Amino acid sequence: MAPDEGKNVIIHNHIIENRERLEAACELYNSFPAIQEAIVKEFVQELMICIKDIDIIKNNEDKWKIINCAAADMREVGIEIKNIDWDDVCSIYLGSDKIDDLANIYLGVWNNPEKSHGYDFVPLYRVLNESNLGRGRNEIKWIWWSLFENKYRDWSSTGMLPELKYDRKNSTEHYKWKLDTLLNIVTPELNKILRQ
């Protein structure tokens, strides 16, 4: 028996030992999505404040727009960063497509197919793949995207959620560092591509 299985059996037996424990476990289970949503929203808000302190943004803040994608309906969870010079052709994104997919947090450079015709993003994709961000993928709407590594990929109950709440400083610093790295690679390359 794996260690986790043994732990689960102990928890299981403890919960079903009496009615009160089982009822409490059911209440906790039912309230968990709201708890998860509150922690993630709080973390995203704090991360947005940290992002404003990234040098490339701080030194030219009028050019940057940081959007909380979790604000409206929690269908998307994350942060989008736009630069006015990019004219909505591209933006930087960190997060997940769905609240129920918080085990797959990614970082990427999105491109708007309606505005990006005629631009060659292959050089940017190559530069990103050769950077210390690691290999990524590209798709119709993505110049480059990559899942976060290890625990930082998972904002669900079994992964990073306790750290998002109780070790927020280290968590925000990690995501900020990744975004800082991505922005410093993408900004000059994208400005060059969009001027051609």
Flag whether 124 is in a domain: yes
Q: Do 149 and 178 contact (CB within 8 A), yes or no?
A: no
Q: At 149, phi and psi to the nearest 5?
A: -85, 155
Q: Do 131 and 181 contact (CB within 8 A), yes or no?
A: yes
* pLDDT > 80? residue 2: no
Number of domains in the chain: 1
Flag whether 8 is in a domain: no
* pLDDT > 60? residue 82: yes
Cα separation of the two ends of the chain = 61
Low-confidence winner among 29-38, 64-73, 85-94 (lowest mean pLDDT): 64-73
Flag whether 179 is in a domain: yes
Which residues is 110 bridged to in the sheet?
A: 91, 142
Low-confidence winner among 17-26, 56-65, 71-80, 173-182 (lowest mean pLDDT): 71-80
Flag whether 11 is in a domain: no
Flag whether 163 is in a domain: yes
Chain centroid offset of residue 24 CA? 32
Q: At 80, phi and psi to the nearest 5?
A: -115, 135
The whole model's pTM is what? 0.86
Predicted local confidence at residue 71, as pLDDT: 54
Flag whether 95 is in a domain: yes
* pLDDT > 80? residue 161: yes
Which residue range is the domain that position 99 belongs to?
33-195
Average pLDDT over residues 42-59: 95
List pLDDT tens digits, range 114-158.
898 889 999 999 999 999 898 999 998 999 999 998 889 888 877
Flag whether 66 is in a domain: yes
For residues 151 and 156, what is the distance between their CA atoms, to the nearest angstrom?
Answer: 10
Predicted local confidence at residue 74, as pLDDT: 54
Flag whether 173 is in a domain: yes
